Structure 1
C-alpha cells in the first residue's frame, strides 16, 4: 500500500485545490508554491510513489499524463513550457506520489538546477 500524501488527500477531496482539469485517470491543479507564472501539477489517480515505481501496466497512464500536460499548457496559452518529473528526494521530489510539473509563462533557464 502506498504512503499517505497530500496528493492522496486532495484526490479524496479532503484538501481543496485550484483544479484545472480532471478525468477518470488524473487531476491537474495549480501549485501552491509556483516557480513561474504558470505552474500546474498533473497527478494520476493511481498512487504511484515515483516514476521509478511505475510498471509496464502503467504505460497508457503515463502517456495520458503527458498528453494532458500538453493540453493544459496549450489551454493556459503557453507556446513554450517545461514538463518536469522529479524522481527521488535528491532529484527534488518532496511528495511521493508521481506528478508532472507544467511550468511556463517566463523564460526558463538551462540547466535548471
Structure 2
C-alpha cells in the first residue's frame, strides 16, 4: 500500500512539473535559433520574433500593475540587489532601506493627483 502511494506521489509531482513547465520548454525550443532554417521555428512560422513581455516573468501580478516606466523596473531590480534588507516597504512589503519604496511612493503620488 505504501509503495502504491509513493508511486502516485511521484507521478503527481511529475505531472505538476510537466503541466507548469511544458509550455516554457516548448517556447524555448520554438524561439531558439535553428541552424538549418536560419531562424527560429517561431520566426519561420509567424515572420517575426516572439514578443516577450513582463507577464511572462516571475514578478507578482500586483507588482506588475505598479510598473509604469522602465525606471520602475530598474528600481525593482535594485531593490533585489540590496544586501542590507532591514526595512520592508509598508505598501508592497518589498525589503529595502526605506519605509515606503520609491515605486510605491511614485504610484501613490500618481493616484492622489488623479
Q: TM-score, normalised by structure 2?
A: 0.24
Q: TM-score, normalised by structure 1?
A: 0.24
| Greater radius of gyration (CA) | 2
Structure with bigger RCO (C-alpha 8 Å, 6+ apart): 1
Give the structure with the higher percent strand.
1
Give the structure with the higher percent helix.
2
